[in-house]
Amino acid sequence: MNTIRTDAAAADGLAGLAALMGDRTRATVCLALLDGRAWTAGELARVCGVSAATMSRHLDLLTSGGLLAEQRQGRHRYVRFADAGAAEVVESLAAASHTPRPPTSYAAARVDEGLRRARTCYDHLAGRLGVAVLDGLEQTGYVERSAGLRLTDHGSRWLRRLGIDISEPRGGRRPIVRECLDWTERRSHLAGVVGADLFRVFVDEGWIRRGEQRLVLITEVGADALRRELGVTVE
């Protein structure tokens, strides 16, 4: 009987998530928030092409459903994902449902190619660069997959050299390393604590910088560093 109750609860939860994501405006909101930044309700309304009142109703549903968290600051309502797990669910759903469409203009083609090359997935790297970084970590022996993805002792020493100490206590139950299915490459990039910390270090060191929307731009210094540290060849 316990199994039946558990399965029913899981089914209810899955159905609720599907209902939340089953609206184009709410799906667009979630994809926009994958850049890892907090957005105002007004900004999201403009991106989605809906009124402020309509956007407010959609955000109420997303926050009450647990996907988003909100913060009020003066007259503004800021929203972001409730946690990294919520963002990774959205990225995985996008990967499962993505059907490539030819760009309708040169500008759209440039943005599409940029997103495929390197972008954020909430707080970690995605796109071809994100996949290549995970490949590089495996080839250098910093992570291995013999019993599921895990960080090796060799990898821990490398992270400490970059200023990342995974032995420090972290809030929450986020895994140290986790594979996240990339929606354009249909392969995994690195998420988890290490994925987020590496993104932060890459930005702080000037290896990458944020572009518009979710775009990530690779600097010349970064191209050299990624080749030296991980054997990653940047286009």
pLDDT profile of the chain (235 residues), mean per 10: 61 81 91 87 94 94 92 88 85 70 54 84 92 97 93 96 84 84 88 95 96 89 96 86
Domain housing 74:
2-82
Assigned domain for 223 exists: yes
Question: Buried (b) or exposed (e) across 125-141, using 16+ Cβ within 10 A?
Answer: bbbbbbbbbbbbbbebe
Assigned domain for 185 exists: yes
Residue 134 and residue 75 in one domain: no
Residue 113 and residue 172 in one domain: yes
DSSP 234: P
Assigned domain for 119 exists: yes
Assigned domain for 73 exists: yes
Assigned domain for 90 exists: no
Residue 33 and residue 74 in one domain: yes
- Specify the pLDDT at position 144: 96
Residue 109 and residue 185 in one domain: yes
pTM of the complete model: 0.72
- Phi then psi for residue 40, to 5 deg, are -80, 160
Residue 160 and residue 63 in one domain: no
Task: Report helix, strand or coil for 215.
Answer: strand
Number of domains in the chain: 2
For residue 93 the two structure tokens come to 């759903």
Question: Buried (b) or exposed (e) across 46-73, using 16+ Cβ within 10 A?
Answer: ebbebeeeebeebbeebeebebbeeeee
Residue 58 and residue 126 in one domain: no
Q: What is the domain-level CATH number for residue 56? A: 1.10.10.10
Assigned domain for 91 exists: no
Residue 134 and residue 176 in one domain: yes
- Specify the pLDDT at position 109: 53
- Phi then psi for residue 79, to 5 deg, are -130, 150
Q: How many residues does the chain have?
A: 235
Which long-range contacts does 201-206 make (Cβ < 8 Å, 24+ apart)?
201/162, 201/163, 201/164, 202/125
Helices (H), the chain: 2-21, 24-32, 41-48, 52-64, 84-97, 106-117, 127-139, 153-161, 192-204, 220-230
Q: Is 141 left (phi over 0), alpha (psi -120 to 50) or beta?
A: left
